[in-house]
Amino acid sequence: MKSAVVLLSGGLDSATTLAIARHQGYEAYVLSFSYGQRHSRELDSASRVAEALGVKSRLVLALDLRAIGGSALTGDLAVPKRRTAGEIGVGIPVTYVPARNTIFLAHALAWAEVLGPSTFRPSSDSRTSPPKRGSRARAGSRSTRR
């Protein structure tokens, strides 16, 4: 059976990614993180989604990103509420966790290397997916043949 490593935060994007992978017949290895976030709701939701969709294995890694700081999600900064439309979308939000997705992707790729799955399913943006095995295409290269 084909298999996939899926990053599962418990949010809508990652739950949908897992559902698509399962619908397409992938055996799912799910990776979640306890990274020092203020609330355990993310991990609780991820656990319920993993159980509901039937995963082969679920791994929760503990990473303390509070030590790095710089985010309202992992530090003492206030989480903004009741922002105006003009305030939303201006600058980097205080809830941004520096390099969080990059850190998560690195760990998921490491687990995928060990497991040897046939695909890797990041939930954030399909354009961040690594090339398929055996692909010789270079990032950003385009063929000039017609």
Confirm whether 145 is domain-assigned.
Answer: no
What angle separates helix 12-23 from helix 41-53, to the nearest 10 degrees? 10
Quote the percentage of the chain above a pLDDT of 90.
51
Confirm whether 133 is domain-assigned.
Answer: no
Confirm whether 140 is domain-assigned.
Answer: no
Confirm whether 144 is domain-assigned.
Answer: no
**Is the per-residue pLDDT at 129 higher than 60?**
no
Q: What is the largest CA-CA distance in the chain?
A: 56
User: CATH number, domain at 31?
Assistant: 3.40.50.620
Confirm whether 72 is domain-assigned.
Answer: yes
Q: How many residues does the chain have?
A: 146
pLDDT digits (tens, 9 = 90+) for 62-97: 999 999 888 988 888 888 888 888 888 788 888 889
Mean pLDDT of 96-125: 83
Are the C-beta atoms of residues 74 and 38 closer than 8 Å to each other?
A: yes
Confirm whether 141 is domain-assigned.
Answer: no
Task: Report which of 9, 65, 78, 77 is spatially closest to residue 37, judged by C-alpha positions.
Answer: 65
Confirm whether 132 is domain-assigned.
Answer: no
pTM for this prediction = 0.75
**How many folded domains does the chain comprise?**
1
Are the C-beta atoms of residues 71 and 95 closer than 8 Å to each other?
A: yes
Confirm whether 118 is domain-assigned.
Answer: yes
Q: The domain containing residue 22 runs over which residues?
A: 3-127
Q: What is the pLDDT of residue 122?
A: 67
Q: Picking from 1-5, 23-27, 63-67, 120-124, which range would have the lowest pLDDT averaged per residue?
A: 120-124
